[in-house]
Structure 1
Amino acid sequence: MFKIVGKYKSVILFILTFLGVYVVLSLLYGFYLSRSASSSYYPDYITHQVAVQSAWLVDLLGYATQLAPHPEEASMVLGVENVYVARVVEGCNAMSVIILFVAFVMAFFQGWQRTILFTLGGVILIYVVNVLRIALLSIGLYRFPEAQNLLHDIVFPAIIYGQVVLLWLLWVRNFKKQAG
């Protein structure tokens, strides 16, 4: 049995590291969410900032935006040119994607400096692309409301998850160079 475990040591270490980091970060994020309910930033600080920054970007792109707390649920209502187009909910803030990204990168640990720098750069890139994604989705929903399902359910998830997969591939490629 120990011979089998030794043979798959790197795979087992990857899985345990990934799951460990993922569980710890998810628990910390859950704790953050449970503590942010009384915050002055609605529905929570991160989601609020993503909504504000997305609205700012839509404004920058030449469209008048309206942003307000949703009266009945934990989200921000985003309007473009006085047309309600989106609700920015906690799931829109990319934190679950960031946690997944960080867990994967940590599972292919390459020393503290390399890992932290790549993780920090990746988290910033994911956050920025997510704000851009929400802004473009809002404009797209305003201009092409009939394409809501295509834009929201296919195109824009593909952007955020595609970006994460590309970052992972870059990290693994560099990991293989370092290990080889």
Structure 2
Amino acid sequence: MKKYFILYKPFLLFLATFFLAYIVLTFLYQRYLSGFEENEIDSITRMVGKNTAQVLQLFNDGSAIEESAAHPYMKLFYDQKYVARIIEGCNAISVIILFISFVVAFSGKLKMTLLFIFGGSLLIYVLNVLRIAALIALIFYFPKQEPFLHGVLFPLYIYGVVFILWLIWVRKFSRYASKDIK
């Protein structure tokens, strides 16, 4: 047993660090969410909604956002038509937590790790806002494609971005990055 622990120690340390970071960040996020009433929109989701509406207004004057009075979501209008809603799960925080947990598990130098976490999280946030804006416009023009767009294409897009960021991190900046000069 000890032989296997020694053999797989790097992998086991990665798993332990990843899950510890993921659990701690998820716990902190849940604590943050618990500070809001049951039918109240959290401030991160509200900010994502407002940023999405700002992007949509660049392309369509009839775009707007409205908070639901009875439910914790924001209604998005495109060309003055109600198209979709933004709920807490749309704010990409769970994706950012996943991203951060992986980077921490493969951490490198502290300064570079923190800069990559900040820059990557900001990039994921911005790309998520653009993703939602594109999704709203596409659902407006192709409403029958909503299940494919929302359930397949756009999750693939956001998780694809995270995967590419992970590859960049592991290959260029983590402690496991190749130090060979080519």
TM-score w.r.t. length of structure 1: 0.93
Output the CA distance in 2 between the equivalents of 1:72 and 1:156: 28
Output the CA distance in 1 between the equivalents of 2:2 and 2:155: 42
Contact 1:17 1:106 in 2 (8 A): yes
Unaligned 5+ segments in structure 2 are: none
Contact 1:36 1:45 in 2 (8 A): no
**Residue 139 (str. 1) matches residue 137 (str. 2):** yes
Q: Please name the residue that 1:50 is paired with.
A: 48
Output the CA distance in 1 between the equivalents of 2:145 and 2:12: 44
Q: What are the equivalent positions in structure 2 for 1:72-151 lying under 5 Å apart?
A: 72-151=70-149
Sequence identity percentage: 42
Tell me the CA shift for residue 38 of structure 1.
8.3
Output the CA distance in 2 between the equivalents of 1:10 and 1:28: 27
How many aligned positions are there?
A: 178
Deviations 1:44-72 (A, max 9, x none): 00000000000110001234212111233
Q: Which amino acid aligns with 2:22?
A: Y
Contact 1:126 1:160 in 2 (8 A): yes
Q: Please name the residue that 1:162 is paired with.
A: 160
Output the CA distance in 1 between the equivalents of 2:144 and 2:106: 42
Q: Please name the residue that 2:25 is paired with.
A: 25
Give secondary structure in 1 for the equivalent of 2:107.
coil
Q: Give the structure with the larger helix fraction.
A: 1
**Worse-superposed segment, 76-85 or 99-108:** 76-85
Output the CA distance in 2 between the equivalents of 1:112 and 1:73: 41
TM-score w.r.t. length of structure 2: 0.92
**Residue 177 (str. 1) matches residue 177 (str. 2):** yes
Output the CA distance in 2 between the equivalents of 1:87 and 1:38: 17
RMSD value, Cα: 1.7
